[in-house]
Amino acid sequence: MKYYILFGPPGAGKGTQAGAIAEKYNVKHISTGALLRAEIAAGTEVGIEAKKLIEKGKLVSDDMVEEMLENYFASTRDTEGYLLDGFPRTLNQARDLDRLLAKKGEEVSAVISLMIPDAVIAERIQHRAAIEGRADDADMKVIKTRIATYHAQTEPIIDFYREAGKYHEVDGTGSIDEVKNKVSVLMDALHK
Ligand code: AMP
């Protein structure tokens, strides 16, 4: 089973690129942000708790996200693997993922990182706000908190996977098609 991680700051284009990758390599795209938004829409306890944090640009607790992810893995069949989008987002989540996969005799296959500078993050998120209508995209204060959260809590994951020899970076600043082509070249080399 393949476990790919699509990594990058908010607004890097993970959600935009994920569908094509998942289809081409027959893996299931799983976005923890999308799962949380579904919980919010359904008005569940998890959703009510998550909403308060997401609205502020803060991360939801590791336990909450990991439970959701485990349930998702357990509920899916007929796939050659997964493309994780938005997870792991802390070093603790990265370590927990390793432990969870080790229990199944599996491991992270590769990390594909879409990298864009901070100035482009804000621009992309504001553009997306108009299209997708996400509340956490519309407020500049929340966007700034998300960028700060990324640098403080998520970026350290890069070295974790680099040391494991699993980290691969793609320049995410071009057009959707340009980035798609670069990701495709990388995935073709990685997907054995
Ligand atoms: P995303 O759709 O990936 O941009 O996620 C939207 C929001 O959901 C984030 O700003 C976080 O508040 C929350 N979230 C998504 N994934 C995670 C995660 N792995 N750990 C903690 N919070 C998360």
Question: In this predicted structure, what is the pLDDT of residue 170?
Answer: 97
Span from the CA of 86 to the centroid of ligand 1 (angstroms): 6
Element housing 83 (H / E): strand 81-85
pLDDT at 182 over 90: yes
Question: In this predicted structure, what is the pLDDT of residue 167?
Answer: 98
Total domains in the chain come to 1
Distance between CA atoms of 16 and 56, rounded to whole angstroms? 23
Question: In this predicted structure, what is the pLDDT of residue 135?
Answer: 87
- 68-121 pLDDT, tens digit per residue, is 999 999 998 888 999 999 999 999 999 999 999 999 999 999 999 999 999 899
Q: Is there a domain that residue 190 lies in?
A: no
Distance between CA atoms of 166 and 25, rounded to whole angstroms? 18
Q: What is the pTM of this model?
A: 0.95
Q: Is there a domain that residue 96 lies in?
A: yes
Q: Is there a domain that residue 67 lies in?
A: yes
pLDDT at 186 over 90: yes
Q: Which domain holds residue 94?
A: 2-185
Q: Are 40 and 135 in contact (CB under 8 A)?
A: no
CATH number at residue 151: 3.40.50.300
**In which band, very low, low, confident or very high, does the pLDDT at 179 lie, cut at 50, 70 and 90?**
very high
Residue given tokens 């229990």 in the structure block: 103
Q: Is there a domain that residue 29 lies in?
A: yes
Is 54 a pocket residue for ligand 1 (Cβ < 6 Å)?
yes
End-to-end CA distance of the chain: 11
pLDDT at 8 over 90: yes
Q: Are 161 and 111 in contact (CB under 8 A)?
A: yes
Pocket test for ligand 1, best of 6, 14, 32 (most atoms within 8 A of CB): 32
Is 158 a pocket residue for ligand 1 (Cβ < 6 Å)?
no
Span from the CA of 69 to the centroid of ligand 1 (angstroms): 12
